[in-house]
Structure 1
Amino acid sequence: MIRKLVLPVRKLLNRTLRNLFNFLPRKRRFAVYRNFVDCNPNPDERLVLKIAETKEELEACFALLHDAYVANGFMNPDPSGMRVTIYHALPTTTTLCAKYDGEVVGTLSLIRESRLGFPLQRIFDLTALREKKGKIAEVSALAIHKRFRRTGGSILFPLMKFMYEYCTTFFDTRHLVIAVNPSHIEMYESLLFFKRLTQNVVENYDFVNGAPAVGATLDLRSAPEIFKYHYGSKPPKRNLYAFFTQVKLPNIKLPQRRFYTTNDPVLTPELLDHFFNVRTSVFARLSDRKKSLMHTIYDLPAYQAVLPACPAVLPEVLEGKQDEAHRRRHRRFSVRCPANFLTVAADGTESCISLELVQLSRYGFQAHTLALVPINVWGEMTIQLGPAEVSRIQVSASRESEGGIYGFRLGEPDLIWRKFVNALYSGSTHADLEDATRFMTDR
Structure 2
Amino acid sequence: MNISNTLSKPLLACLPAYVRRKIIRGDLPDFQTDLDGVTFCRASSAEDYISCFRLLHDVYVEAGFIQPSTPPLRIIPHHSDLEAMVLMGCRTDDQGENMPIYTASLFPDNEQGLPMDTGFKRQVDVLRNQGRRLVEVGCLASHPLYRKGDKNIPMLGNRMILLHAMNTLQADDLVITVHPKYLKIYEDILLFEKIGQISSYAYVNNNPAVALRQDLHTWAQRLKKIYGKKPIEKNLHHFLFESGSICNDLPLGEEKKVVEKSYGYDMKHFVINSYLTDMQACLIPG
TM-score by length of 2: 0.84
Distance 1:259 1:22, change over 3 A: closer
Q: What is the CA deviation profile of residues 197-240 of structure 1, one whole-angstrom value per residue up to 9, with x for unaligned ones?
A: 13xx3111000000001111000010000000011011122111
Query: Which residue of 2 is the match for residue 273 of structure 1?
Result: 273
Q: Is the 8 A contact 2:33 2:156 kept in 1?
A: no
Distance 1:271 1:30, change over 3 A: same
Structure 1 unaligned regions, length at least 5:
1-13, 285-443
- The structure that has the greater radius of gyration is 1
Measure, in 2, the Cα distance between the counterparts of 1:238 and 1:100: 24
Query: Which residue of 2 is the match for residue 328 of structure 1?
Result: none
1:20 to 2, 11, 20: 11
Shift of 1:258: 8.4
Shift of 1:194: 0.8
Shift of 1:114: 2.7
Measure, in 2, the Cα distance between the counterparts of 1:68 and 1:89: 21
TM-score by length of 1: 0.56
The structure in which a higher percent of residues are strand is: 1
SS in 1 for 2:181: coil
Query: Which residue of 2 is the match for residue 170 of structure 1?
Result: 168
**Structure 1 letter corresponding to 2:217:** R
Query: Which residue of 2 is the match for residue 103 of structure 1?
Result: 99
Measure, in 1, the Cα distance between the counterparts of 2:201 and 2:62: 17
Structure 2 unaligned regions, length at least 5:
93-97
Q: Is the 8 A contact 1:37 1:237 kept in 2?
A: no
1:63 lines up with 2:61 in the alignment: no
Q: Is the 8 A contact 1:94 1:111 kept in 2?
A: yes
Shift of 1:99: 1.1
2:217 to 218, 221, 245: 221
Query: Which residue of 2 is the match for residue 431 of structure 1?
Result: none
1:46 lines up with 2:30 in the alignment: no
Which one has more relative contact order, counting CA pairs under 8 Å at least 6 apart? 2
Distance 1:261 1:221, change over 3 A: farther
Q: Is the 8 A contact 1:49 1:253 kept in 2?
A: no
Query: Which residue of 1 is the match for residue 193 of structure 2?
Result: 195
SS in 2 for 1:155: helix
Measure, in 1, the Cα distance between the counterparts of 2:211 and 2:163: 22
Query: Which residue of 1 is the match for residue 95 of structure 2?
Result: none
**Equivalent residues in 2 for 1:68-79 (5 A)?**
68-79=59-70
The structure in which a higher percent of residues are helix is: 2
Measure, in 2, the Cα distance between the counterparts of 1:29 and 1:258: 41
SS in 2 for 1:212: strand
1:184 to 176, 182, 185: 182
**Equivalent residues in 2 for 1:301-340 (5 A)?**
none
Measure, in 1, the Cα distance between the counterparts of 2:251 and 2:134: 24
